[in-house]
Amino acid sequence: MGNGLTIRWLLGLALVWATVMASGFFASAARADEAVMPGVRVEDENTKCTAGFAAQGAHGSYYLMTSGHCDSHDGSPWTYGDDVPLGKISASEEEGDKRDAAIILLEPSVGAPLGHVGGRYPVRDVLSLSRVEIGMPFCKIGAVTGETCGVVKSTAGGVVEASVFSLTGDSGSPGFVKNPDGTVTAVGLLMSSPDGDDYTTYFVPVDPLLGKWDLRVLE
């Protein structure tokens, strides 16, 4: 990220559900037994990560976004909650600290996922990186640390750097800006943190991914 820090990828072997406070905001973890939605834990036989924004493809299929480094590239089926089947990753990309995203193609039996982030924030729109401002309030909802918030620190290198608390297992978390009407604006997917600094987190922008994979974010 230009600061000489070694990137620590947020891959975990086990998750511990917790409530934490960061930057004056209380974390509130999304529950995986409520619905398929952004912020829940998703996993395959090797990895535990977090579901990012829910999306629909041009041909009607539904997807959950997550981090590219969560993809083991072995075609493993993904589940959520108590081993409830979701589907398989149909596309992913990972390139150092610049590109890191994947999409899980949901099985038809899953139905339409809930678009509300954490089950409580409708997604109003998507913010391009060029419109993300330094100092802008920024939040995420992760499967481990729940909702934590901070501010945007940088957009250098094409990624959003924010003073947001995260831990192993939060990879893929939806990063967003809250709006006065109770909705949120989608910005990015949680990618990584610098080694030894859980209060700085990087997010890969969602906007270009939607065009690349022909998706629209669900409200």
pLDDT in tens, 15-35: 323 333 333 333 344 444 458
Q: pLDDT digits over 32-54, tens only?
A: 445 899 999 999 998 999 999 99
Q: Is the pLDDT of residue 214 over 60?
A: yes
Taking 80 as the threshold, does the pLDDT of residue 10 lie above it?
Answer: no
In sequence order, the β-bridge partners of residue 12 are 48
pLDDT(206) > 70: yes
What's at 201, amino acid-wise?
T
Lowest mean pLDDT among 2-11, 64-73, 104-113, 154-163: 2-11
User: Which DSSP string corresponds to 150-207?
Assistant: EEEEE-GGGSEEE-----TT-TTPEEEEE-TTS-EEEEEEEEEEETT-TT-EEEEESH
**Across the chain, what does the average pLDDT equal?**
87
Q: List pLDDT tens digits, range 69-118.
A: 999 999 999 999 989 999 999 999 998 778 899 999 999 999 999 999 99
Q: Which domains does the chain have, with CATH numbers?
A: 15-31+117-205 (2.40.10.10), 41-114+210-217 (2.40.10.10)
Residue with token string 């930057």: 23
The answer on pLDDT for 192 being more than 50 is yes
